[in-house]
Structure 1
Amino acid sequence: MNDYFIEIYPNCSYFSFYRNIKIENWDKTFLQVVNRLKTFPSKSRRGYIINPIIGPDPITGSSRMKCGTATKLLLETICLTGLLDMYHSEENIQPSDLMRCYNIVNKAVYKVKQELCRIVEKAGQCLRSGGNIYYIGDDSLAIMGLIDASECPPTYGATLDDVRGFVANGYKTLQNVEGDLSHLGEHFRISHDNFCTDISPTDRDILIAINCDIPPAISTKCTKNGCRMMLITFKKVEGKDFTHPLYIEDPTTEIDELIGPETRKIASQMFREIAVKCCLNAISTGAHILKGKVYRNIMIDVKVSNNKLFHRAVGILEKLGQMSKTKAMDYLLRSIYNTDEVSEAMNSRPITQHIAAATELEKVVPVALVAAVTNTSIADAKVALSKHSVIRTAIVQALKNIS
């Protein structure tokens, strides 16, 4: 280990769940790295394992809700504490103070859980009816929407249109190193202007404004076509345009008592980002559960788009299909390569090639599961799935063969 770096691992599962599987182009498995971290003395400061276990991660096994949030909290707390220590050392702000502030913000979100539940319900109705969810905003809060939308395809097998995010001035606000990427395709077009030219909202869709006024051109378009407009805001608003305004009150008094008003002003956008992230994660997760993308708390339509999700797909087939790992792998490859007989050449390919072949495909795991438990061909499994608008219903029907 390089002495200039410290390993920090936000742990989302019990240690027994970790895979001792070779990672291509690396000389260690994930389990080996975690075991090495466990050997460090608690005061060595060479590495840390953050192992909260309790949190939203058990809901559909979606690590974005806990480890993603934990990573953001860690980075912001580390960086802000360092900057304050360097330029405002008289404030004597401790990392624990900032963590308590985040906890206060979290409680502020929970105070509006009933209003949030109503938006989740509408979002689920939207996806079930074939509609789309659009996030729109002006600043870094809108970037939370872009991130949430980007997580839906790999997590739930969603299309790139199911949940999309748009931000004022597009890539100028994003400030990414590569600059404007809108020329790469329609799903790289993320500005408000792009929404106006590219999107034709319908009465099945919903638009969620994130602490911003909706541009008149977009508002007019949505109103004309019956698209419902909702709002997540940190300021009280009055108006009939929003069907479900969600007002989160900034807990300024409580935060000021911990870190003072000046530091609170510096960190206020970070706190709001966490609040928005919690809301959007709840909306997109709940919507996909209501759409039928989850069965027995398992993401049954996970997109096989990386190494972690490839092995997760195998595990889902093992667990739900009550089959061996070898059989689960075989049926996963059958589904990926659209064949009823996996050749030796296919079997010997590295996992990266399997992932490359699977990434653009839909319903890889459901097809594999239905084919395995009903002992049918891949083609027949696809036909069986096509007869059900809700994937969970098709899975329940297929699993009756092994119950």
Structure 2
Amino acid sequence: MSFTKTTEQASHYNHLEKMTVAELLRNINNEDKTVPLAVEKGLPQIEILAEVAAKRMRNGGRLFYIGAGTSGRLGIVDASECPPTFGVPFDLVIGIIAGGDSAIRKAVEFAEDDTTQAWKDLSAYNINENDTVVGIAASGTTPYVIGGLQECNKNNIATGCITCNAGSPLAKTAQYPVEVVVGPEFVTGSSRMKAGTAQKLVLNMISTTVMIQLGHIKGNKMVDMQLSNHKLVDRGVRMIMDELEISQEEASALLDKHKNVRKAIESYGNR
């Protein structure tokens, strides 16, 4: 059964080189406005995948993202932001890109075409049945990602995906597919644009929802965040002040003692 890559279809705009800067910006913005609406249509699928990941992580599992090119980089960005934001170990959410870490900055030729390497990359982390693997590929045809999910399926590991074409081979491989169809790109085939934005939005939703489900947010605050700079220390002090209704000096002293917003708040209630 054939399927159409809408991400590869011709742009709705032509003669881009003849447009003014204002016209280019306005037209790109008009296309970008359609992305959240496309994501909205995928909410039921996103909900299922987030629930699966959260359930497995409660039982000691991890969340893996695998992808190539832009998709791989987006997964790494989301994974790398979980420890400082939610105070979780660096190896709880893991992003893997085809071609290895050097591919984060510079494309590695044909890395995405290797059907066996993703499983090798995952195996280096002793992946097991408690884990969840999400394959990210705008096209839905990336061999590296599909091959990885196929091996995960054989080994009873939960698989999801984020793709921007309907009915793709990747979506058919994943147990819990997420399809966000954004249509043709402003620059034909440049899936770092709308497709990349859609993938980033979905990743934000999955990781944030999972971390809230795992208890790493109190109220609406990042009480488990890492205090890795002065801005975050100041934010932590304000959180404690607001939660406990105490002075800045008291809040600062508590945070300095406990080095963690949650622990500072809990210690105050246990006095």
Residue identity opposite 1:250 in structure 2? V
Q: For residues 147 and 49 of structure 2, what CA distance do their matches in structure 1 show?
A: 24
Counterpart for residue 209 of structure 2: 286
Counterpart for residue 87 of structure 2: 157
Counterpart for residue 97 of structure 1: 27
> Given the alignment, which residue of 108, 125, 128 partners 1:202?
128
RMSD across aligned C-alpha pairs, in angstroms? 2.6
8 Å contact from structure 1 (residues 201, 221) kept in 2:
no
Alpha-carbon shift at residue 221 of structure 1 (Å)? 5.1
Q: For residues 216 and 97 of structure 1, what CA distance do their matches in structure 2 show?
A: 34
Inter-CA distance 126–305: structure 2 relative to 1 (3 Å threshold): farther
Q: Which has the higher Rg, Structure 1 or Structure 2?
A: 1
> Given the alignment, which residue of 248, 258, 264 partners 2:180?
248
Q: For residues 266 and 192 of structure 1, what CA distance do their matches in structure 2 show?
A: 24
Residue identity opposite 1:231 in structure 2? C
8 Å contact from structure 2 (residues 66, 133) kept in 1:
yes
Inter-CA distance 316–127: structure 2 relative to 1 (3 Å threshold): farther
Q: Spell out, residue by residue over 1:324-357, the C-alpha distance to the aligned partner (whole angstroms, 9 max, x if none).
A: 2111111111113xxxxxxxxxxxxxxxxxxxxx
Alpha-carbon shift at residue 271 of structure 1 (Å)? 1.5
TM-score of the superposed pair, with normalisation by structure 2: 0.79
Amino-acid identity (%):
25
Alignment of 1:4-403 (within 5 A): 89-92=17-20, 93-175=23-105, 192=118, 195-211=121-137, 212-214=142-144, 218-219=148-149, 222-235=152-165, 236-237=167-168, 241-252=173-184, 263-265=186-188, 267-336=190-259, 364-375=260-271
Partner SS state of residue 293, structure 1? coil
Unaligned runs of 5+ in 1: 1-86, 180-190, 256-262, 337-363, 376-403
Q: Spell out, residue by residue over 1:379-403, the C-alpha distance to the aligned partner (whole angstroms, 9 max, x if none).
A: xxxxxxxxxxxxxxxxxxxxxxxxx
Alpha-carbon shift at residue 120 of structure 1 (Å)? 1.6
Q: For residues 98 and 122 of structure 1, what CA distance do their matches in structure 2 show?
A: 35
Partner SS state of residue 97, structure 1? helix
8 Å contact from structure 2 (residues 164, 182) kept in 1:
yes
Partner SS state of residue 162, structure 2? strand
TM-score of the superposed pair, with normalisation by structure 1: 0.55
Unaligned runs of 5+ in 2: 1-14, 109-116
Q: For residues 241 and 251 of structure 1, what CA distance do their matches in structure 2 show?
A: 22
Partner SS state of residue 130, structure 1? coil
Number of residue pairs matched by the alignment: 241
Residue identity opposite 2:160 in structure 1? M
Q: For residues 220 and 115 of structure 1, what CA distance do their matches in structure 2 show?
A: 20
Q: For residues 121 and 243 of structure 2, what CA distance do their matches in structure 1 show?
A: 40
Alpha-carbon shift at residue 144 of structure 1 (Å)? 0.6
